[in-house]
Amino acid sequence: MFRSLRRALCAVAAALVLPLAGVGVQPADAAADAAGAGYWHTSGRQILDAAGQPVRIAGINWFGFETGNYVVHGLWSRDYKSMIDQMRSLGYNTIRLPYSDDIFKSSTVPNSIDFSGGKNADLQGLNSLQVMDKLVAYAGQDGLKVILDRHRPDSGGQSALWYTSAVPESTWIANLKALAARYKGQDTVVGIDLHNEPHDPACWGCGDTATDWRLAAQRAGNAVLSVNPDLLIFVEGVQTFNGVSGWWGGNLMGVAQYPVQLSVANRVVYSAHDYATSVAQQPWFSDPSFPANMPGVWDKYWGYIFKQNIAPVWVGEFGTTLASTTDQKWLAALVSYLRPTSTYGADSFHWTFWSWNPNSGDTGGILKDDWQTVDTVKDGYLASVKAPLFPGTGTGGGGGGGGGSTAACSASYTVSSDWGSGFNAEVKVTNTGTTAIGSWKVTWTWSGSQQVANMWNASYTQTGSTVTAVNAAHNGSVAAGSSVTFGFGGAPGGGSVPAVNCTAS
Protein backbone atom coordinates (compact mmCIF):
# COMPACT_ATOMS: atom_id res chain seq x y z
CA MET A 1 0.00 0.00 0.00
CA PHE A 2 2.60 2.53 1.03
CA ARG A 3 5.11 2.43 -1.76
CA SER A 4 7.60 4.73 -0.04
CA LEU A 5 7.85 2.16 2.73
CA ARG A 6 7.80 -1.04 0.79
CA ARG A 7 10.42 0.00 -1.69
CA ALA A 8 13.38 0.44 0.63
CA LEU A 9 15.77 0.70 -2.23
CA CYS A 10 19.44 -0.01 -2.55
CA ALA A 11 20.79 2.51 -5.01
CA VAL A 12 24.37 1.44 -4.54
CA ALA A 13 25.86 -1.99 -4.82
CA ALA A 14 25.96 -4.07 -1.69
CA ALA A 15 28.99 -6.00 -0.51
CA LEU A 16 29.61 -8.83 -2.93
CA VAL A 17 28.40 -12.32 -2.13
CA LEU A 18 29.38 -15.37 -4.12
CA PRO A 19 26.61 -16.91 -6.23
CA LEU A 20 24.72 -19.71 -4.54
CA ALA A 21 26.47 -23.00 -5.01
CA GLY A 22 24.62 -26.04 -6.21
CA VAL A 23 21.81 -24.26 -8.06
CA GLY A 24 23.03 -24.79 -11.61
CA VAL A 25 19.76 -26.09 -13.03
CA GLN A 26 20.02 -27.07 -16.68
CA PRO A 27 16.44 -27.43 -17.93
CA ALA A 28 15.46 -29.19 -21.12
CA ASP A 29 12.27 -29.32 -23.12
CA ALA A 30 9.45 -30.64 -20.99
CA ALA A 31 7.11 -33.35 -22.08
CA ALA A 32 4.91 -32.33 -24.96
CA ASP A 33 1.76 -32.66 -22.89
CA ALA A 34 2.99 -30.54 -19.98
CA ALA A 35 0.55 -27.72 -19.27
CA GLY A 36 1.59 -24.14 -20.04
CA ALA A 37 2.87 -24.29 -23.60
CA GLY A 38 2.20 -21.38 -25.93
CA TYR A 39 0.13 -18.30 -25.26
CA TRP A 40 -2.70 -18.38 -22.75
CA HIS A 41 -6.35 -17.37 -22.69
CA THR A 42 -9.14 -17.40 -20.17
CA SER A 43 -12.28 -19.48 -19.84
CA GLY A 44 -14.52 -18.50 -16.97
CA ARG A 45 -12.36 -18.41 -13.86
CA GLN A 46 -9.51 -20.44 -15.33
CA ILE A 47 -6.47 -19.64 -17.43
CA LEU A 48 -5.87 -22.16 -20.21
CA ASP A 49 -2.77 -22.79 -22.30
CA ALA A 50 -2.67 -22.97 -26.10
CA ALA A 51 -3.88 -26.59 -25.97
CA GLY A 52 -6.76 -25.77 -23.62
CA GLN A 53 -5.12 -27.20 -20.51
CA PRO A 54 -5.61 -25.25 -17.26
CA VAL A 55 -2.55 -23.63 -15.72
CA ARG A 56 -1.83 -22.02 -12.37
CA ILE A 57 0.40 -18.97 -11.91
CA ALA A 58 2.40 -19.54 -8.72
CA GLY A 59 5.20 -17.04 -8.78
CA ILE A 60 7.32 -14.31 -7.32
CA ASN A 61 7.89 -10.55 -7.74
CA TRP A 62 11.45 -9.50 -8.58
CA PHE A 63 11.60 -5.74 -8.46
CA GLY A 64 14.19 -3.16 -9.48
CA PHE A 65 13.50 -2.06 -13.06
CA GLU A 66 11.09 0.52 -11.62
CA THR A 67 13.76 2.07 -9.38
CA GLY A 68 16.79 4.27 -9.95
CA ASN A 69 18.84 1.14 -10.60
CA TYR A 70 16.79 0.53 -13.77
CA VAL A 71 17.39 -3.20 -13.45
CA VAL A 72 16.31 -6.00 -11.12
CA HIS A 73 17.96 -5.79 -7.72
CA GLY A 74 20.52 -8.24 -6.41
CA LEU A 75 22.74 -8.26 -9.49
CA TRP A 76 25.24 -6.43 -7.31
CA SER A 77 25.62 -9.77 -5.51
CA ARG A 78 24.78 -12.56 -7.91
CA ASP A 79 24.47 -13.64 -11.50
CA TYR A 80 20.93 -13.28 -12.81
CA LYS A 81 20.87 -16.85 -14.12
CA SER A 82 21.69 -18.28 -10.69
CA MET A 83 18.74 -16.41 -9.19
CA ILE A 84 16.30 -17.57 -11.86
CA ASP A 85 17.59 -21.11 -11.39
CA GLN A 86 16.99 -20.76 -7.65
CA MET A 87 13.44 -19.52 -8.22
CA ARG A 88 12.87 -22.59 -10.38
CA SER A 89 14.35 -24.91 -7.77
CA LEU A 90 11.99 -23.50 -5.14
CA GLY A 91 8.96 -24.19 -7.33
CA TYR A 92 8.04 -20.68 -8.50
CA ASN A 93 6.79 -20.86 -12.06
CA THR A 94 6.25 -17.18 -12.93
CA ILE A 95 8.16 -13.92 -12.44
CA ARG A 96 6.36 -10.59 -12.18
CA LEU A 97 8.78 -7.88 -13.34
CA PRO A 98 7.89 -4.33 -12.24
CA TYR A 99 9.20 -1.50 -14.41
CA SER A 100 8.82 2.26 -14.84
CA ASP A 101 8.53 4.22 -18.07
CA ASP A 102 12.04 5.56 -17.42
CA ILE A 103 13.52 2.39 -18.92
CA PHE A 104 12.30 3.51 -22.35
CA LYS A 105 14.42 6.68 -22.27
CA SER A 106 17.65 6.62 -24.28
CA SER A 107 19.46 8.30 -21.38
CA THR A 108 18.65 5.50 -18.92
CA VAL A 109 21.57 3.26 -17.99
CA PRO A 110 21.21 0.29 -15.62
CA ASN A 111 23.57 0.43 -12.65
CA SER A 112 24.77 -1.64 -9.68
CA ILE A 113 25.50 -4.79 -11.66
CA ASP A 114 28.55 -6.81 -10.60
CA PHE A 115 30.55 -8.28 -13.47
CA SER A 116 33.43 -9.68 -11.42
CA GLY A 117 34.28 -13.35 -11.60
CA GLY A 118 32.23 -13.77 -14.77
CA LYS A 119 28.93 -12.79 -13.14
CA ASN A 120 26.33 -11.25 -15.45
CA ALA A 121 28.89 -11.25 -18.26
CA ASP A 122 26.30 -11.16 -21.03
CA LEU A 123 24.66 -8.03 -19.56
CA GLN A 124 27.67 -5.76 -20.04
CA GLY A 125 26.93 -2.75 -22.20
CA LEU A 126 23.20 -3.42 -22.40
CA ASN A 127 20.42 -0.95 -21.69
CA SER A 128 17.52 -1.78 -19.38
CA LEU A 129 15.27 -3.19 -22.08
CA GLN A 130 18.07 -5.37 -23.40
CA VAL A 131 18.70 -6.69 -19.89
CA MET A 132 15.00 -7.44 -19.64
CA ASP A 133 15.31 -9.41 -22.88
CA LYS A 134 18.03 -11.57 -21.30
CA LEU A 135 15.94 -12.24 -18.19
CA VAL A 136 12.90 -13.16 -20.25
CA ALA A 137 14.91 -15.50 -22.47
CA TYR A 138 16.55 -17.31 -19.57
CA ALA A 139 13.31 -17.56 -17.59
CA GLY A 140 11.73 -19.19 -20.63
CA GLN A 141 14.55 -21.72 -20.84
CA ASP A 142 13.96 -22.57 -17.18
CA GLY A 143 10.22 -23.16 -17.66
CA LEU A 144 9.10 -19.91 -16.02
CA LYS A 145 6.64 -17.44 -17.50
CA VAL A 146 6.93 -13.65 -17.14
CA ILE A 147 4.31 -10.99 -16.45
CA LEU A 148 5.47 -7.42 -17.09
CA ASP A 149 4.16 -4.89 -14.58
CA ARG A 150 3.98 -1.18 -15.35
CA HIS A 151 4.69 -0.26 -11.76
CA ARG A 152 5.42 3.47 -11.89
CA PRO A 153 5.44 6.26 -14.44
CA ASP A 154 9.00 7.10 -13.37
CA SER A 155 11.53 5.82 -10.86
CA GLY A 156 10.67 8.59 -8.38
CA GLY A 157 7.65 6.88 -6.87
CA GLN A 158 4.15 5.50 -7.11
CA SER A 159 1.26 7.36 -8.75
CA ALA A 160 -2.41 7.15 -7.87
CA LEU A 161 -3.48 7.42 -11.51
CA TRP A 162 -1.98 5.79 -14.58
CA TYR A 163 -0.60 9.12 -15.77
CA THR A 164 1.16 12.19 -14.38
CA SER A 165 1.97 15.61 -15.78
CA ALA A 166 5.40 14.30 -16.80
CA VAL A 167 4.16 10.96 -18.15
CA PRO A 168 0.81 11.45 -19.92
CA GLU A 169 -1.57 8.67 -20.88
CA SER A 170 -0.23 8.74 -24.44
CA THR A 171 3.27 7.81 -23.20
CA TRP A 172 1.88 5.07 -20.96
CA ILE A 173 0.01 3.48 -23.87
CA ALA A 174 2.86 3.93 -26.35
CA ASN A 175 5.27 2.14 -24.03
CA LEU A 176 2.79 -0.66 -23.32
CA LYS A 177 2.45 -1.18 -27.07
CA ALA A 178 6.23 -1.12 -27.46
CA LEU A 179 6.58 -3.96 -24.96
CA ALA A 180 3.78 -5.93 -26.58
CA ALA A 181 5.56 -5.60 -29.93
CA ARG A 182 9.00 -6.34 -28.44
CA TYR A 183 7.93 -9.71 -27.08
CA LYS A 184 5.47 -10.68 -29.78
CA GLY A 185 6.06 -14.31 -30.63
CA GLN A 186 7.90 -14.94 -27.34
CA ASP A 187 5.28 -16.73 -25.30
CA THR A 188 7.43 -16.61 -22.16
CA VAL A 189 5.79 -13.19 -21.69
CA VAL A 190 2.16 -14.18 -21.17
CA GLY A 191 0.76 -10.75 -20.34
CA ILE A 192 1.08 -7.23 -18.99
CA ASP A 193 -0.17 -5.77 -15.69
CA LEU A 194 -1.29 -2.37 -16.97
CA HIS A 195 -0.62 -0.21 -13.90
CA ASN A 196 0.29 -0.96 -10.33
CA GLU A 197 -2.09 -0.13 -7.49
CA PRO A 198 -4.43 2.61 -8.72
CA HIS A 199 -5.78 4.45 -5.70
CA ASP A 200 -7.80 7.51 -4.73
CA PRO A 201 -8.83 9.54 -6.69
CA ALA A 202 -8.90 6.63 -9.16
CA CYS A 203 -12.46 5.30 -9.47
CA TRP A 204 -14.12 2.29 -11.08
CA GLY A 205 -17.18 2.88 -13.20
CA CYS A 206 -17.62 6.57 -12.39
CA GLY A 207 -17.45 7.53 -16.08
CA ASP A 208 -14.89 10.34 -15.70
CA THR A 209 -12.21 9.59 -18.30
CA ALA A 210 -9.62 11.42 -16.18
CA THR A 211 -10.09 9.14 -13.16
CA ASP A 212 -12.08 6.05 -14.21
CA TRP A 213 -9.48 3.29 -14.08
CA ARG A 214 -11.80 0.74 -15.64
CA LEU A 215 -12.16 2.89 -18.78
CA ALA A 216 -8.41 3.54 -18.88
CA ALA A 217 -7.71 -0.19 -18.60
CA GLN A 218 -9.98 -0.80 -21.57
CA ARG A 219 -8.16 1.82 -23.65
CA ALA A 220 -4.74 0.47 -22.74
CA GLY A 221 -5.74 -3.17 -22.98
CA ASN A 222 -7.16 -2.71 -26.46
CA ALA A 223 -4.00 -0.86 -27.50
CA VAL A 224 -1.84 -3.77 -26.30
CA LEU A 225 -4.06 -6.31 -28.05
CA SER A 226 -3.92 -4.33 -31.29
CA VAL A 227 -0.19 -5.13 -31.35
CA ASN A 228 -0.23 -8.61 -29.81
CA PRO A 229 -3.71 -10.14 -29.52
CA ASP A 230 -2.33 -13.22 -27.72
CA LEU A 231 -1.39 -11.46 -24.47
CA LEU A 232 -3.36 -11.61 -21.25
CA ILE A 233 -4.37 -8.22 -19.85
CA PHE A 234 -4.00 -8.05 -16.07
CA VAL A 235 -6.18 -5.35 -14.51
CA GLU A 236 -5.79 -4.36 -10.86
CA GLY A 237 -8.50 -2.88 -8.71
CA VAL A 238 -8.72 0.56 -7.11
CA GLN A 239 -8.77 1.69 -3.50
CA THR A 240 -12.40 2.83 -3.08
CA PHE A 241 -15.68 1.77 -4.67
CA ASN A 242 -19.05 3.18 -3.57
CA GLY A 243 -17.47 4.53 -0.40
CA VAL A 244 -15.86 1.22 0.61
CA SER A 245 -12.07 1.39 0.80
CA GLY A 246 -9.39 -1.30 0.88
CA TRP A 247 -5.81 -1.83 -0.17
CA TRP A 248 -4.43 0.16 -3.08
CA GLY A 249 -5.27 -1.85 -6.18
CA GLY A 250 -7.09 -4.38 -4.04
CA ASN A 251 -10.71 -3.31 -4.45
CA LEU A 252 -12.40 -5.06 -7.37
CA MET A 253 -15.97 -4.67 -6.10
CA GLY A 254 -16.87 -2.66 -9.22
CA VAL A 255 -16.26 -5.56 -11.59
CA ALA A 256 -19.71 -7.00 -10.88
CA GLN A 257 -21.40 -3.90 -12.32
CA TYR A 258 -18.67 -2.61 -14.61
CA PRO A 259 -16.55 -5.45 -16.07
CA VAL A 260 -13.57 -4.65 -18.27
CA GLN A 261 -14.59 -5.26 -21.87
CA LEU A 262 -11.85 -5.69 -24.45
CA SER A 263 -11.81 -6.06 -28.23
CA VAL A 264 -10.41 -9.60 -27.96
CA ALA A 265 -12.40 -12.05 -25.88
CA ASN A 266 -10.96 -14.18 -23.07
CA ARG A 267 -7.99 -11.97 -22.25
CA VAL A 268 -8.89 -10.27 -18.94
CA VAL A 269 -7.42 -11.42 -15.63
CA TYR A 270 -8.33 -9.34 -12.59
CA SER A 271 -5.55 -8.68 -10.10
CA ALA A 272 -5.84 -7.91 -6.40
CA HIS A 273 -3.17 -6.94 -3.87
CA ASP A 274 -3.44 -7.88 -0.22
CA TYR A 275 -1.10 -7.22 2.68
CA ALA A 276 -0.58 -7.73 6.39
CA THR A 277 0.00 -5.40 9.32
CA SER A 278 3.70 -5.02 8.52
CA VAL A 279 2.53 -2.84 5.61
CA ALA A 280 -0.42 -1.07 7.26
CA GLN A 281 -3.30 -1.65 9.65
CA GLN A 282 -6.76 -2.39 8.34
CA PRO A 283 -9.97 -2.69 10.39
CA TRP A 284 -10.36 -6.41 9.71
CA PHE A 285 -7.15 -7.21 11.60
CA SER A 286 -8.73 -5.99 14.86
CA ASP A 287 -12.04 -7.78 14.30
CA PRO A 288 -12.67 -10.13 17.28
CA SER A 289 -13.25 -12.98 14.84
CA PHE A 290 -9.89 -12.57 13.07
CA PRO A 291 -8.65 -14.58 11.18
CA ALA A 292 -11.96 -16.40 10.61
CA ASN A 293 -13.35 -13.16 9.16
CA MET A 294 -10.78 -12.96 6.37
CA PRO A 295 -12.43 -15.21 3.75
CA GLY A 296 -15.49 -12.96 3.92
CA VAL A 297 -13.30 -9.87 3.44
CA TRP A 298 -11.58 -11.39 0.41
CA ASP A 299 -14.91 -12.59 -1.01
CA LYS A 300 -16.22 -9.02 -0.87
CA TYR A 301 -13.25 -7.29 -2.48
CA TRP A 302 -12.16 -9.77 -5.17
CA GLY A 303 -12.84 -13.44 -4.39
CA TYR A 304 -16.41 -13.29 -5.69
CA ILE A 305 -15.06 -12.82 -9.23
CA PHE A 306 -13.51 -16.28 -9.08
CA LYS A 307 -16.31 -17.90 -7.13
CA GLN A 308 -18.97 -16.61 -9.54
CA ASN A 309 -16.91 -17.82 -12.52
CA ILE A 310 -16.66 -14.29 -13.94
CA ALA A 311 -12.93 -14.33 -14.70
CA PRO A 312 -9.60 -15.57 -13.31
CA VAL A 313 -8.21 -13.73 -10.27
CA TRP A 314 -4.50 -13.23 -9.68
CA VAL A 315 -3.21 -11.93 -6.34
CA GLY A 316 -0.32 -10.08 -7.92
CA GLU A 317 1.19 -8.97 -4.61
CA PHE A 318 0.93 -10.19 -1.03
CA GLY A 319 3.64 -10.29 1.59
CA THR A 320 4.70 -9.76 5.19
CA THR A 321 7.71 -9.81 7.46
CA LEU A 322 5.90 -12.48 9.52
CA ALA A 323 7.13 -10.59 12.60
CA SER A 324 3.75 -10.58 14.36
CA THR A 325 1.33 -13.35 15.25
CA THR A 326 -1.36 -11.43 13.37
CA ASP A 327 0.70 -11.51 10.19
CA GLN A 328 1.40 -15.21 10.56
CA LYS A 329 -2.31 -15.96 10.95
CA TRP A 330 -3.10 -13.70 7.99
CA LEU A 331 -0.67 -15.48 5.67
CA ALA A 332 -1.84 -18.94 6.72
CA ALA A 333 -5.47 -17.91 6.13
CA LEU A 334 -4.72 -16.35 2.75
CA VAL A 335 -2.78 -19.36 1.49
CA SER A 336 -5.68 -21.61 2.49
CA TYR A 337 -8.12 -19.28 0.72
CA LEU A 338 -6.04 -19.41 -2.48
CA ARG A 339 -6.79 -23.19 -2.62
CA PRO A 340 -4.12 -25.90 -2.34
CA THR A 341 -2.88 -27.26 -5.64
CA SER A 342 -3.00 -30.85 -4.43
CA THR A 343 -6.78 -30.55 -3.96
CA TYR A 344 -7.89 -28.13 -6.67
CA GLY A 345 -5.11 -28.22 -9.27
CA ALA A 346 -5.24 -25.20 -11.56
CA ASP A 347 -8.87 -24.46 -10.64
CA SER A 348 -7.50 -21.98 -8.13
CA PHE A 349 -6.53 -18.39 -7.54
CA HIS A 350 -3.28 -17.32 -9.19
CA TRP A 351 -0.53 -15.52 -7.27
CA THR A 352 2.91 -13.91 -7.24
CA PHE A 353 4.38 -13.34 -3.79
CA TRP A 354 5.99 -10.03 -2.80
CA SER A 355 8.89 -10.43 -3.03
CA TRP A 356 12.01 -12.27 -4.10
CA ASN A 357 14.02 -9.25 -2.91
CA PRO A 358 15.05 -9.03 0.74
CA ASN A 359 15.23 -5.22 0.47
CA SER A 360 11.49 -4.63 0.49
CA GLY A 361 11.26 -2.45 3.56
CA ASP A 362 7.97 -3.56 5.07
CA THR A 363 7.75 -7.16 3.87
CA GLY A 364 11.25 -8.53 3.37
CA GLY A 365 11.60 -11.31 0.83
CA ILE A 366 12.02 -14.98 0.11
CA LEU A 367 15.75 -14.35 0.10
CA LYS A 368 17.51 -13.14 3.21
CA ASP A 369 19.80 -10.11 3.28
CA ASP A 370 22.76 -11.98 1.80
CA TRP A 371 20.72 -12.38 -1.42
CA GLN A 372 21.21 -16.14 -1.44
CA THR A 373 19.90 -17.79 1.74
CA VAL A 374 16.23 -18.79 1.55
CA ASP A 375 13.81 -17.73 4.28
CA THR A 376 12.53 -21.28 4.61
CA VAL A 377 9.76 -20.32 7.02
CA LYS A 378 8.27 -17.77 4.64
CA ASP A 379 8.77 -20.00 1.62
CA GLY A 380 7.24 -22.88 3.55
CA TYR A 381 3.94 -21.05 3.99
CA LEU A 382 3.57 -21.11 0.19
CA ALA A 383 4.32 -24.79 -0.34
CA SER A 384 0.70 -25.92 -0.68
CA VAL A 385 -0.11 -23.38 -3.42
CA LYS A 386 2.97 -23.85 -5.56
CA ALA A 387 2.29 -25.41 -8.94
CA PRO A 388 4.17 -27.21 -11.74
CA LEU A 389 6.69 -25.44 -13.92
CA PHE A 390 5.94 -24.88 -17.59
CA PRO A 391 7.63 -26.32 -20.67
CA GLY A 392 11.02 -24.69 -21.07
CA THR A 393 12.46 -23.28 -24.28
CA GLY A 394 15.94 -24.72 -23.65
CA THR A 395 17.38 -27.26 -26.07
CA GLY A 396 19.92 -29.04 -23.89
CA GLY A 397 19.44 -32.61 -22.81
CA GLY A 398 16.16 -34.27 -23.49
CA GLY A 399 15.58 -37.80 -24.62
CA GLY A 400 13.35 -39.76 -26.91
CA GLY A 401 10.70 -42.10 -25.70
CA GLY A 402 10.10 -45.48 -27.24
CA GLY A 403 10.04 -49.01 -26.00
CA GLY A 404 13.55 -48.86 -24.56
CA SER A 405 12.93 -45.83 -22.32
CA THR A 406 14.15 -45.99 -18.75
CA ALA A 407 13.56 -43.98 -15.59
CA ALA A 408 16.82 -42.98 -13.92
CA CYS A 409 18.30 -40.09 -11.97
CA SER A 410 21.51 -38.88 -10.39
CA ALA A 411 22.09 -36.45 -7.52
CA SER A 412 24.90 -34.09 -6.55
CA TYR A 413 25.41 -32.65 -3.05
CA THR A 414 27.01 -29.22 -2.54
CA VAL A 415 27.63 -27.36 0.72
CA SER A 416 26.63 -23.74 0.08
CA SER A 417 27.69 -22.38 3.50
CA ASP A 418 29.33 -23.78 6.62
CA TRP A 419 29.83 -21.80 9.83
CA GLY A 420 31.11 -24.57 12.06
CA SER A 421 28.10 -25.06 14.29
CA GLY A 422 25.87 -25.58 11.28
CA PHE A 423 25.69 -25.63 7.48
CA ASN A 424 23.40 -25.30 4.46
CA ALA A 425 23.53 -27.65 1.50
CA GLU A 426 21.88 -28.03 -1.89
CA VAL A 427 21.16 -31.29 -3.70
CA LYS A 428 20.55 -31.25 -7.46
CA VAL A 429 18.50 -34.13 -8.87
CA THR A 430 18.97 -34.75 -12.60
CA ASN A 431 16.83 -37.02 -14.76
CA THR A 432 19.48 -39.12 -16.54
CA GLY A 433 16.99 -41.45 -18.19
CA THR A 434 15.23 -41.27 -21.53
CA THR A 435 11.73 -40.57 -20.27
CA ALA A 436 10.13 -38.15 -17.83
CA ILE A 437 10.01 -39.26 -14.20
CA GLY A 438 7.11 -38.70 -11.84
CA SER A 439 8.93 -38.96 -8.53
CA TRP A 440 12.43 -39.31 -7.06
CA LYS A 441 14.16 -40.30 -3.84
CA VAL A 442 17.67 -39.37 -2.72
CA THR A 443 19.60 -41.07 0.09
CA TRP A 444 22.96 -40.50 1.73
CA THR A 445 24.82 -41.51 4.88
CA TRP A 446 27.00 -39.05 6.78
CA SER A 447 30.27 -40.22 8.31
CA GLY A 448 29.77 -37.91 11.29
CA SER A 449 26.99 -36.89 13.66
CA GLN A 450 25.17 -34.47 11.33
CA GLN A 451 21.42 -34.04 11.70
CA VAL A 452 18.98 -32.34 9.32
CA ALA A 453 17.42 -29.30 10.98
CA ASN A 454 15.03 -28.32 8.18
CA MET A 455 14.54 -29.09 4.50
CA TRP A 456 12.80 -27.25 1.66
CA ASN A 457 11.42 -28.57 -1.63
CA ALA A 458 11.60 -32.15 -0.31
CA SER A 459 10.47 -34.14 2.72
CA TYR A 460 12.86 -36.30 4.68
CA THR A 461 13.37 -38.99 7.26
CA GLN A 462 16.61 -39.60 9.13
CA THR A 463 17.60 -42.85 10.82
CA GLY A 464 20.97 -42.62 12.54
CA SER A 465 23.28 -41.02 10.02
CA THR A 466 21.23 -42.05 6.97
CA VAL A 467 18.90 -39.48 5.35
CA THR A 468 16.18 -40.20 2.80
CA ALA A 469 14.73 -37.22 0.92
CA VAL A 470 11.61 -37.52 -1.27
CA ASN A 471 10.33 -34.96 -3.77
CA ALA A 472 7.70 -32.39 -2.86
CA ALA A 473 4.38 -32.32 -4.70
CA HIS A 474 5.47 -29.57 -7.08
CA ASN A 475 8.86 -30.93 -8.21
CA GLY A 476 8.49 -34.68 -8.53
CA SER A 477 7.96 -34.54 -12.29
CA VAL A 478 11.27 -34.00 -14.10
CA ALA A 479 11.69 -34.14 -17.87
CA ALA A 480 14.51 -36.18 -19.38
CA GLY A 481 17.73 -34.20 -19.09
CA SER A 482 16.24 -31.65 -16.69
CA SER A 483 17.10 -30.99 -13.04
CA VAL A 484 15.44 -29.82 -9.84
CA THR A 485 17.07 -28.74 -6.61
CA PHE A 486 16.22 -29.05 -2.93
CA GLY A 487 18.08 -27.69 0.07
CA PHE A 488 18.42 -28.16 3.78
CA GLY A 489 20.08 -26.89 6.91
CA GLY A 490 21.95 -29.17 9.26
CA ALA A 491 24.33 -29.32 12.21
CA PRO A 492 27.11 -29.52 13.10
CA GLY A 493 29.21 -28.22 10.24
CA GLY A 494 32.64 -29.31 9.14
CA GLY A 495 31.59 -32.69 7.81
CA SER A 496 32.69 -34.30 4.57
CA VAL A 497 30.45 -34.46 1.52
CA PRO A 498 28.73 -37.88 1.45
CA ALA A 499 28.04 -40.05 -1.56
CA VAL A 500 24.43 -39.69 -2.68
CA ASN A 501 22.15 -42.14 -4.46
CA CYS A 502 19.05 -41.35 -6.50
CA THR A 503 16.17 -43.59 -7.54
CA ALA A 504 13.38 -42.55 -9.89
CA SER A 505 9.95 -43.81 -10.88
Residues 73, 64: contact at Cβ < 8 Å?
yes
Cβ density class 154-178: b for 16+ within 10 Å, e for less: bbeebbbbbbbeebebeebbebbbe
φ/ψ of 294, rounded to 5, equals: -65, -40
169 carries an active-site annotation: no
Do β-strands 458-463 and 466-471 pair in parallel, antiparallel, or remain unpaired? antiparallel
- Strands, E, within 309-422: which ranges? 313-319, 350-353, 409-418
Do β-strands 458-463 and 423-431 pair in parallel, antiparallel, or remain unpaired? unpaired
Nearest to 268 by CA among 276, 259, 277: 259
Please state, in angstroms and rounded to a whole number, the distance separating the CA atoms of residues 333 and 276. 11
Please state, in angstroms and rounded to a whole number, the distance separating the CA atoms of residues 200 and 204. 10
197 carries an active-site annotation: yes
Q: Where are the alpha helices (DSSP H) in 100-253?
A: 128-141, 169-182, 213-227
Candidate list 66, 197, 236, 426, residue with the active-site label: 197
Instruction: Provide the Cα torsion 340, 346, 350, 352; round to 10°.
Output: 80
φ/ψ of 72, rounded to 5, equals: -55, 145
Please state, in angstroms and rounded to a whole number, the distance separating the CA atoms of residues 301 and 268. 17
Query: For 495, how many CA atoms within 13 A lie in the half-sphere containing its CB?
Result: 25
Candidate list 66, 236, 317, 426, residue with the active-site label: 317
Catalogue the active-site residues: 197, 317
